[in-house]
Amino acid sequence: MSSVLNLQGNHACALAAIAAGCRFYAGYPITPSSEVAERMSLELPAVDGIFIQMEDEIASMGAVIGASLGGAKTMTATSGPGFSLKQEHLGYAAATEVPCVIINVMRGGPSTGMPTRPAQGDVMQARWGTHGDHPIIVLTPWSVEEVYEQTMRAFDLSEALRIPVVVLIDEVIGHLVESVDMARFKAVKPVERKWADSKKQGFQPYAITEDFVPPMPRPGDGYRTHTTGLTHAESGFPTQDPETGQRVISRLLDKLEHHNKLVESVEQTDCEDAEVVIVAFGITARAAQSAIALLQKAGIKAGLFRPITLWPFPDQSYASATRNARLVLVPEMNAGQLIVEIERYQKDGTSVVGLNRYDGEAIAPQQIVNKVKEVLQNA
């Protein structure tokens, strides 16, 4: 039988979660993410996993954290308004370093917005939706195949680094059906959590280790542990001591910096000598990919910089990709969010221009081509 499947993005997400070892899903269905929950409800019982539809998004995020502390690989899926509700517990997962994967299939906003229409309005919410200085990883697939790949990777990063990972998908990619060759995923081995195996006497659940990732105590192994959203010392118990607070929060934030090579993931197309670099993710990057081919035909040196890992933003790769650029165009299906991050790295001689659409339709390749030509003509 052929290994090529006609697969929907949301279904790819569910299948990848199962392949990565996810055995617990709690959620509250919401368009356009509902097919993730639907598919998980079919797949999980078949692998002795647990699917639970909770009373709301807050409770489902709580259940995901609890199950992860209990030793399971866990996931939930939602969209804009539901993602807002998950933020409180998302911060708790970041602070307590509980691995979990959150799928956000973006729809039009603000508030309940346009439920069936695509948008990319959660760029900043994914980074800063929960309060306080917290580490988070956000991945942005641009195809059904990459939804599968990046969902698996989300589990691997989450388990390896003890950090919540958000997979940020737009409605177009979530509902898109593409022919995907599954053969390459057969041999992929998921990453497993680093469990504590040190002496039980004097165990420190949040000890500062060389790799900044403290091993987790496995329930039943007999370690004494304590989990709290309050700022906690290496012992796991709350502290208000300034020196300790500074030290433990620094360790939490340094963890991502230390593992930057593992976390960063970008794709660059023809950026080396590009005068025009388009920065885009998700379906908008697919449009940009088509657009650079059209621009190159018209004699314009155009390239595409695609941050697959959107947060932490891959600043050094971005700087290198745009070193020869006169124009950086940032098309996004929102009123200008990613561009705010890009502007932080703006240098003399390069103009940064946005192309924004928030009417519930995707940005088309020709729109990007037209915008580039318009800006170059007026320069």
Partner 1 sequence: MSEIQIRFSGSGGQGLQLAAKILASALALEGRSISMSQSYEPTSRGGLSRSDLVVDSSAGYPLVTEIDYLIILDQLAVENSTGMIKSGAAVIVDNERVDAPPPGEHKTSTLPLVQTAREVGNIRAANVVSLGAIVGISNICAQKSLLQAIHDTVPSRFVDLNLEAFKRGYALVSANREEDPHLTAVS
- Point out which residues bind partner 1 (CB under 8 A): 2, 4, 6, 31, 115-117, 143, 172, 175-179, 283, 286-287, 289-290, 293, 362, 364-366
Nearest distance in Å: CB 296, partner 1: 12
Output 244 or 367, the one with its CB closest to partner 1: 367
Burial of 282-301, coded b for 16+ CB within 10 Å and e otherwise, reads bbbbbbbbebbebbeeeebb
Distance in angstroms between the alpha carbons of the first and the last residue of the chain: 55
Nearer to partner 1, 97 or 145 (CB): 145
- In whole angstroms, the minimum distance from the beta carbon of 31 to partner 1 comes to 7
Query: 39 vs 117, which CB is nearer to partner 1?
Result: 117
In angstroms, give the least distance from the CB of 366 to partner 1.
7
Does residue 352 sit in helix, strand or coil? strand
How near is the Cβ of 298 to partner 1 at its closest, in Å?
A: 15
> Coil, strand, or helix at residue 16?
helix
CA distance readout (Å), 10 to 52, 146, 303: 18, 11, 29
Closer to partner 1 by CB, 87 or 120: give it: 120
CA–CA gap between residue 251 and residue 35 (Å, rounded)? 38
Tell me whether residue 275 is exposed, middle or buried, using C-beta atoms within 10 angstroms of its C-beta: 0 to 12, 13 to 18, 19 or more: middle
User: How far apart are CB 179 and partner 1 at their closest, in Å?
Assistant: 4
Indicate the residue among 245 and 365 with the shorter CB distance to partner 1: 365
Non-local (6+) Cβ contacts of 56 within 8 A are: 28, 85
Closest CA to 368 of 351, 350, 353, 346: 353
Nearer of residues 113 and 312 to partner 1, judged by Cβ: 113
Residue closer to partner 1, measured from CB, 207 or 364: 364
| Least gap, CB of 177 to partner 1 (angstroms) | 4
Q: 22-27 and 4-8 as β-strands: parallel, antiparallel, unpaired?
A: unpaired
Phi and psi based region of residue 360 (left: phi greater than 0; alpha: psi -120 to 50; beta: remaining): left
Residue 91 CB, nearest approach to partner 1 (Å): 30
Nearest CA-CA partner of 47 in 67, 66, 73, 82: 73
Of 178 and 275, which CB lies nearer to partner 1 in the complex structure?
Answer: 178
- At residue 269, the 3 state secondary structure works out as strand
With CA atoms as reference, report the closest residue to 56 among 66, 48, 64: 64
Least distance to partner 1 from the beta carbon of 365, Å? 6
Listed in sequence order, the residues at least 6 apart from 305 whose beta carbon sits closer than 8 Å to its beta carbon are: 266, 268, 271, 277, 278, 279, 317, 318, 321, 322
By beta-carbon proximity to partner 1, the closer residue of 96 and 120 is 120
Residue 304 Cβ vs partner 1, minimum distance, rounded to whole Å: 12
